[in-house]
Structure 1
Amino acid sequence: MSEVDDSKISMSKAMHARYGCSPQVHGDITLRNPKDMDQVDLFVSGAPCPAYSTAGLKKGIKDLRGCVILHSLKYIVLRRPAVACLENVKGMTHKSHKQVLDKIIEVLKSCNYKVTAAILNTADHGIPQNRERLYLVAVHRSKLDKTRGNFKFPGPVTMPKLKRFLVHKCQQASELSERERGMVKALRQKIGIARPEKLEDEVVMDIGATMQFANVMNGVSPCLTKTRSASGGYYLYTSQRFMNVYEIGGLQGWPKSWVDQLLEVQPKSKVGAGFGDAMSLNILMRILPRACHAAGLVPPCADVWESIPERGLGLLPGSLYERENPMDPRLQPIWV
C-alpha cells in the first residue's frame, strides 16, 4: 500500500494485525518505482479527491494531489494486474476534468484492459449515505473467459432505514451553540419537518456548514466528508444529538468491532477523518468479487448486500456480515 498519512498507516496495520498479517507500506506513491514493486492480481486506488471535487479548488492535474491517480495508472501500465479499480469523486466526469478521465481510459484500453466505469451511490447499495463516486474497473482481456462472462456493475438494492445503523442509548454530544440552534431551526423550516418525536426515521442535518452550504436529508445521511467526520459527524435531529464514530464507520460499511480496533491506535478524530476519506465498503464488497471472478481469480461469491432482511438483525452493518448466509452454500461468502 502507498500512504503518507501516519494515522492511516497505523490503522491499516491494526486491521492487518487483526487477521494475522502486516501490510507492505511504500509511502509516497509519487516517489516509488513500480518496477521495484511486487506483482499483484488486484490493484485498488482511491486517489485524493480535492483536485476534482466541486467543493475543492477544481485544479485537476494542475494540483499535485490531482496527479496521484496518474501514478496509480503508471503501476497498472508497468505491472499489468489482472484487475484494477480506480475510485474518485463524481467531479472527475465534469467537462473541466473529463479529458483526464478519457485519457486514463484510453491508456488502459491500449494495455488490453476491458474498462467499465460508472457513478455509484452508496445509498443505492445497502447503506443510507448519499455518497456518489466514480468507479472505474479494468479487467485484463487475457484473463476473460466467455464461460464466466464480463464484469458488470451490480444493480441497486433496497436501502434499509438509517435507524438500523444508529447506536441507541449511547452517551453522545447533544449540546448546541446558539449558532447551531439557529441552523437547526432554519433547516427545519427549509424542508418543513415536524418535531423530532413525530418523525419515523432519522433526519440528518449538516449544521457545521454555513447556511449557503448546509444540507438536510430525511432517512439518509449526507456525504460523510473528512472534515465533518473528524469533528463528530452530522446532527441527528430526530435523536437530538450528533453522530458518534461507530455510526460514521457503520455508514461506510465498518462494523463496530473493527471501529474498536482502530480506536486502540488512533483517537476518534483521526478515525473519523479516515472514514471520511475512505471508499464505502458495501460498494467494494459488491464490485471487487465480481471483477475478480470475471478475471478467474475467485469462484462466484455470495453478495450479502443483495438481500437485507427487514427484521431480525442487530446493528448494521456488523450483523449483516455475521449472519448465516442464506444463499447457495456452494458459493463462497465475500466476508469471512
Structure 2
Amino acid sequence: MASSISAAPVAATETDTLNTESPRLILRTYKASDHDQIDHLFYSTYFTLVPEGVKCKLKSPLFWVLWIAFYSYLLGIVPVLLSGMNFPSWSSTALKIFFTFAWSVVSFAGIFVVTDRFEVVDKVEQVRQNDLSDPEVYYLNWTKEEVQVNEDDNEKAGKKRVTFDKDAKPATELVRTQKPLEEQAPSHFWVLTLDNRPCGMVGLAHYKEQLKSNRPLQPPAWKLLAAAALARYRLPVPESLKDLRAKMPTPVFAEPHEPNKATLQRLAIKSDYQDCNLSTLLIDRAMSWADEKGIETVEAKTNELETKAARILSIQHGFTLVKTEKKGWFGQHEKTWTCNVKEWMAAHEEGAKTYKKK
C-alpha cells in the first residue's frame, strides 16, 4: 500500500537541511513519525484562515443590522446622559465621536476573537481529536490496541525483567496490525515533503461504518452557567441541570460512504508555499488513487474559511457544487462539492501521468 512519488527529479541529501538550490519535493504515504509535524501543519495553516471568517461575517446583512441598531442606541442615549448637566455644547459631538470609535473597535475586535478563539478552535480540535489523531487508523487500514504485557513472554524473549509495585497498573504495549485485505478501505493519506520536511498533506477517506467522535459534545453555555450559579449560592439544582456533560450524546464524526464514493479532505499547504501550485500535486495524486481503487465519485466539503480551497476545487479540478448548508446566522456555511473520477481523469490525463512510483 505504501507509495513514494518523486515530484522533482533532483538529488537529495541525507540531512534535513533545506536545500534552496536544488530542493527535493517528494509525495509519499504518511508515516507514524510524521504525526507531530502534520498536526502542526494542520492547525498552523488553519489559523491563518481567520481573516476569511471575519470577512464572511462582515458580509452578513444581519451583522450590519445589529451593528447599526446598537450604534443608533448609543447615539440616542447621548442627550439622556448629558441632560441636566452643565457641559459645553460641543460635549454632545465629542461623546458621539467617542461612542463611534469605541463601538467600532469593540465590535470588530469581538468578531475576530469569536472567530479565532471559538469557531476556528472548534473546527481544529474536531479534526485533531479524530482522524488526525492517528491517520494510520483512519486512512491506512491499521488497527491498534493496547495489550497487557505478559511477564513470562518477556522472560522467554530474554528481556530484562521489571518489578512493578503490587498496586501499580499492569504494563501494556501498543500492538499495531494491518487489516486483512478484504476488510481494507480504499482510503489513503499523503504527505508532501520538501527536503524531508512536510509542507503539505491530503487525505482520501472512505469509511465503511459510522464513526463516533472522540471529542465529546459540550452542553449549552447557559445551562452550565445556570448550574454553576445555583451551586455557588447553594440553591436547589433542577434535575435537568445535573450531570450535564454525562447526559450529552456521543456525536457522530463521519457517516459510512457508499461503495464507490470517497471524500477528499485535510488538504493543507504550508503558508510559505501556498502560491506554488502544490495543491495540484496532492489533488492529482488523490484523484488518480481513487481511479485505481475503483472510486467513481469524490466529494469534498468546504466552509466559509476555506474559500481558496473551494476555488481550487471548482476552477482547477472541475468539482461541482451540489449543496450549501447554513451553519450560522452570520454567513457560516458548509458547501459540498462532487467530482466524477472518470471525467476528471479524462480532463487531467497528463497530470495524472506525471507521477513516478517507486
Q: TM-score, normalised by structure 1?
A: 0.26
Select the structure that is richer in helix: 2
Structure having the higher Rg: 2
Q: TM-score, normalised by structure 2?
A: 0.24
> Per chain length, whose mean CA-contact separation is higher, i.e. which structure has more relative contact order (CA < 8 Å, sep 6+)?
2
Select the structure that is richer in strand: 2
